[in-house]
A = this chain, B = another copy of it.
Amino acid sequence: MDERTGRAWSGRFDASPDEALDAINRSIGFDIRLWPQDIAGSRAHAAMLQQIGMLTIAERDAILGGLNQVESELAAGSFTVLPTDEDIHMAVERRLTELVGDPGRKLHTGRSRNDQVATDVRLFVREACADVRGRLALLVSRLAELALEHADAPMPAYTHLQRGMPTTLGHHLLAWAEMFLRDIERFGETGRRAGISPLGSGACVGSSLPLDREMTANLLGFHSITRNSLDGVADRDAVVEFLANASLLMVHLSRIGEEFVLWSTQEFNFVRLSDSVTTGSSMMPNKKNPDGAELLRGKAGRVVGSLTGLLVTLKGLPLAYNKDMQEDKEPLFDTVDTVTVCLNMLQVMLAGATFNRERMAAACSQYVNATDLCEALVRVGIPLREAHHRTGRLVSLAISRGCEIEALPLADVQAIAPEADPTMLEGLRLAAILDVKQVLGGTAPQRVRAEAEALSARLTRALEWATVA
């Protein structure tokens, strides 16, 4: 440590950093969050340095003891950050050296902050992937339960937000589960790629010392090591992947949030959200606002923004490390936090939501059975296009009469579709048209139940996907 500048690197410098540089450059304000990863990385590095003879056993033990103390202080919030601590890496080393003296000054042997931070970030991403997957799995399980419960509760399926054909609430909830299963896969893939150790890449070209990279990788739970030291310190793919996966997850949540917002309007009135996930107005005593659902929808913005921002920052950077890359951490941390609060929010919303099944069933009106009539005509041999056209004309007629198709006089129906018969019209009842959608993935209640029951096994497979034995 240089007594003039307080910086570990200042041998060739004549002046301390300007406060404007500190303001733009110091990262300890946010990278302190990486302390668990940083301590873990240092433990592994110290153990390895002893193994290859760069530390004595006593030095290693002094370091490990000191790191325990530093960890305690960080965990307890009693760690004092000094104005000269640029980042968590230098802060830990500085404090360690205060505690244990010379062995602390040997810890950085064969290591650079470049590979150290790359290692810390990968450990963080790997853990974040696992955590997000766990939360998603809870949601998938919850949706499976709800889908079973509402497997036969009719509601309209919408396209273009117009009522299309009937489905069931259970079927709709399973659509959400599908999105989450894909998200689980993606975070698994990213977690796997994050699980490759860059430690030992040094500043950019490795080291002249006989570092044992596989040992540190094993100690840190990495499943393999990076094969090029320049890439090892220049690569931020895992962070970009995490943000891309999170952006897509947040788009999914935004769609679900939008549906909760719609469903809880006075106009739809499909769901009543619990008071505990809604708020009131400071001015309007009548209001009960679905804030939680709105923020599920709106918080997609910040995550997409973080992804965009990191791509902008990385674009056009030559190899290997550039200071710009320090900008990877804040979007990563903010995204982990955002995803976490959103997944929790959805879990709580689901727990307290009361679905208005009567209202949903009643909304299965206004010709949502027209396609079924069309297909009935097809089954008796009318070409689809002709059947479609005739049914369209029947819909027009029914609109002009202000009634549903099945309420039209048979003669009027047959004037347009001579093949129609009473059985055909009888088959347009809601329960009947749901039951016949037996195609795989369709809305027949027994099919919905089967898929809900199959979710558990599919979830298990998704959680196993891309993990490394």
Contacts and interface: CB of A to CB of B under 8 A. Distances in A.
29 contacts: A8-B385, A9-B392, A10-B392, A21-B276, A24-B344, A106-B385, A108-B385, A116-B282, A157-B204, A159-B284, A165-B204, A178-B231, A178-B235, A186-B189, A189-B189, A200-B440, A208-B375, A228-B451, A229-B439, A254-B316, A255-B314, A255-B319, A258-B318, A283-B388, A285-B367, A285-B370, A286-B366, A298-B326, A305-B309
A328 to B, nearest CB: 9
B318 A161 contact: yes
B164 A284 contact: yes
Contacts of A12: 280, 285-286, 288, 392-393, 395-396, 399
A430 B238 CA distance: 34
Contacts of A166: 205
Given A25-B292, A158-B318, A285-B374, A276 B228 contact: no
Main secondary structure of the interface of A (DSSP, over half): helix
A255 B316 contact: yes
A242 to B, nearest CB: 11
Interface in A300-343: 300-327, 330-331, 341-342
Interface in A216-234: 225-234
A9 to B, nearest CB: 3
A112 interface: yes
Contacts of A388: 8-9, 11, 108, 282-283, 285
B384 A109 contact: yes
A407 interface: no
Contact of A226 (B111, B295, B374, B441): B441
B371 A251 contact: no
How many copies of the chain does the oligomer comprise?
4
A392 to B, nearest CB: 2
A139 to B, nearest CB: 13
Interface stretch (A71-79, A119-127, A167-175): A167-175
Interface in A256-294: 257-259, 261-262, 264-268, 274-292, 294
Given A10-B392, A241-B248, 5 more contacts: A164-B287, A175-B230, A209-B375, A227-B440, A241-B244
A37 interface: no
